[in-house]
Chains A and B, each alone.
Chain A
């Protein structure tokens, strides 16, 4: 049961971090990071199957695979940047976390811009038909 596992990870991590916070704050941070990673890894095991189903749906609906790949890639970039920014915020450096999130946004923007361009080209080709 993954749900019970995730809840257990959360409680154990919180307790261990609380135990260490007063004496060794830097090790409490390490415990928090490890707990977060374990929770995410156990959740990602489920996600893998769902993504393959999503790809199958895209295949059936004859959408271009590049679009679906870009979509999934954007979700992955979002997860990684959010996770890293959360760790940095726990570390106390909010400004660096903001910059990491900003960098992730720029990367997502560069990934999406070609798709927007493709859409505009499609609209232009429709206009030239008139």
Chain B
């Protein structure tokens, strides 16, 4: 049984990072803003990649690949 919380987690991360980026851009710190957005993307992608791995192992075990 999977839960919705992962979707909400990533959506919340996106909104948070957008707000932080806006604040940093308004206070003339564009370099830190790009860094923050990059870190957000990396964090989201780590969650996504672990889930993709879960899916692929599930498919492999169900369909007996390899």
The answer to whether the Cβ of A80 comes within 8 Å of any Cβ in the partner chain is: yes
Residue of A37, A48, A79 near B52 (CB, 8 A) is A37
Contact call A44/B58, Cβ cutoff below 8 A: yes
Q: Total contacts A to B, CB within 8 angstroms?
A: 100
Contact call B4/A8, Cβ cutoff below 8 A: yes
Chain B contact patch, size range: 20 to 34
Q: Which of A26-34, A56-64, A94-102, A120-128 is the interface stretch?
A: A26-34
Q: Which residue of B lies closest to A47 (CB)?
A: B62
Residues in B lying within 8 Å of A, measured CB to CB = 1-2, 4, 6-8, 10-11, 13-15, 17-18, 37, 40-41, 44-45, 47-48, 51-52, 54-56, 58-60, 62-65
Residues in A lying within 8 Å of B, measured CB to CB = 8-9, 12-13, 16, 19-20, 23-24, 26-28, 30-31, 33-35, 37-38, 40-42, 44, 47-48, 51, 69, 72-73, 75-77, 79-80, 83
